[in-house]
Amino acid sequence: MAGILLTCGYVALFLYLIARWRFFAVTGVGRRAIGALFLLKVAAGTVLWGVYTYYYTDRSTADIFKFFDDGNVMFSALPAHPLDYVQMLTGIGNDAPRFDERYYTVMNNWYRKYDTGYYNDAHTMIRYSAVVRLFSFGVYHVHTVFSAFLSLIGLVALYKIFIGFVPGLGRLLMAGLFLWPSVLFWGSAPIKEALLFLGLGLFLLQVFRWMKEPLPWTGWLLMLLGLLIQLGLKSYVLACMVPGLFALGWCRRTGDRHVLLKFGATHVIAALVIVVLPLVAPSLDVLAIIQQKQRDMLGLVAAMAPGSYIPTPLMEPTLLGMIRQVPHAFFLTFLSPLVTWDIGAMGLLGALENVLLLLLLPVAIFFAKPWSRIDLPIFLFCVAFCLILGLLIGWTTPVVGALMRYRVPMLPFYSMALLLIVDPHKLARWPLLRTP
């Protein structure tokens, strides 16, 4: 009962912040609607808890519990050894043998089974959980509420960026950002995706603001915070976005002439840098990292035999081998959930989401505005990000269950790309879809 009251208290606190904080005063959508979306996210995160409590019952392999449990181990240092707690949170001076003996070997996820030599993003989530533990008193659902609210901030930030490009489509934009099933479930639990949305929103809101006007020091701090969150969680998502951001900034600074040429040149240069980089810094061989990620995933498939595995040939360790797998990679990312619709409730939900993803494209084309009225730079930015991230996911992830989660950051940008081509005037027959 105490846990329920505490959880409800935090829900009430965040609803109050939504009602009072100026950040949530946005064009086209009222605060009550944002509050309702927050409650929906809390409910979705709670449903995910139920799935991993009563259906997938191996707590050690469920991300929603892995970071929570390891965060509790880190938090356990606070009463008797507060300096240890601070050192583990900051990563400063936390390499003494006692940290292994007391904490890290007790955790299940501090050390990778296969060390890649790169930052272990589980550390970020364990530290996050240890911080929220200060407020949760060990109640798991409080972590869900905090994560849902932080994710909400990030998604509202994305809304504030995009609404200026699609005036009159605020309700559709809000739905396209929030209501994908994968975004609702994976983006509302105490796992990486929720914090990733926070990082994306904070970072991009300030980047787009910077393209229009000089940033105050607070804007630079928020941009840095968003950047660090992304680097600490899923740096590859940021990497997939960087070429498009450079191209978009180029267009905004120099005018919107030759947009296709600017985007094409930027992405060709980025590809050449990736190919040449190992000659300068062998440890930054991006192609080898991608190929190794696929081999690791196929090895995991061989050990665990997941039901949603899609047979995938081993990628040849060459650039040509990667190019040959491009069609299969796009098939995995954009079509494979249709193949695994019959493996359970999650498979069916994933297939239905994929049907929606495919159907929305011809619907958007049917309601399209003239090409000359489309904001081409922002449209190409969204499309390029979706294609690059989709390609990377397809190259490395032949398991549909994992793939559905990894493509979560792509879905809001897919929605935005579609809305950019929609003509609001053609939606006059459906006033509920439009906003004043």
Asked if residue 430 has pLDDT above 80, the reply is no
Mean pLDDT of 376-389: 96
What per-residue confidence (pLDDT) applies to 114?
59
Q: Are 105 and 209 in the same domain? A: yes
Please indicate, yes or no, if residue 115 is contained in any of the structural domains: yes
CA–CA distance, 436 with 426 (Å, rounded to integer): 14
Asked if residue 152 has pLDDT above 60, the reply is yes
Using one digit for the tens of pLDDT, what is the confidence trace for 218-247? 999 999 999 999 999 999 999 999 999 999
Mean pLDDT of 89-105: 85
280-287: long-range contacts at Cβ-Cβ below 8 A with a sequence spacing of 24 or more? 283/117, 287/319, 287/322
pTM of the model: 0.92
CA–CA distance, 295 with 417 (Å, rounded to integer): 33
Query: Is the Cα dihedral 111, 115, 119, 122 positive or negative?
Result: negative
Using one digit for the tens of pLDDT, what is the confidence trace for 346-361? 788 889 999 999 999 9
Q: Are 181 and 296 in the same domain? A: no
In eight-state DSSP terms, residue 311 is -
What per-residue confidence (pLDDT) applies to 239?
94
Look at residues 199, 216, 233 and tell me which one is the last residue of a structural domain: 233
Please indicate, yes or no, if residue 222 is contained in any of the structural domains: yes
Q: Are 223 and 297 in the same domain? A: no
> What mean pLDDT is reported for the chain?
89
> Is-contact 157 226, C-beta < 8 A?
no
Query: What are the DSSP E strand ranges found in 224-336?
Result: none
Using one digit for the tens of pLDDT, what is the confidence trace for 273-315? 988 888 888 777 888 888 888 888 888 787 777 778 888 888 8
Please indicate, yes or no, if residue 241 is contained in any of the structural domains: no
Please state the domain count of the chain. Answer: 2
Look at residues 233, 258, 276 and tell me which one is the last residue of a structural domain: 233
Q: Are 219 and 315 in the same domain? A: no
Residue numbers of the domain that contains 38: 1-233
- The residues pairing with 422 across neighbouring beta strands, listed in sequence order, are 368
What per-residue confidence (pLDDT) applies to 383?
96
What per-residue confidence (pLDDT) applies to 197?
96
What per-residue confidence (pLDDT) applies to 378?
95
Using one digit for the tens of pLDDT, what is the confidence trace for 50-73? 888 888 777 777 788 889 999 999
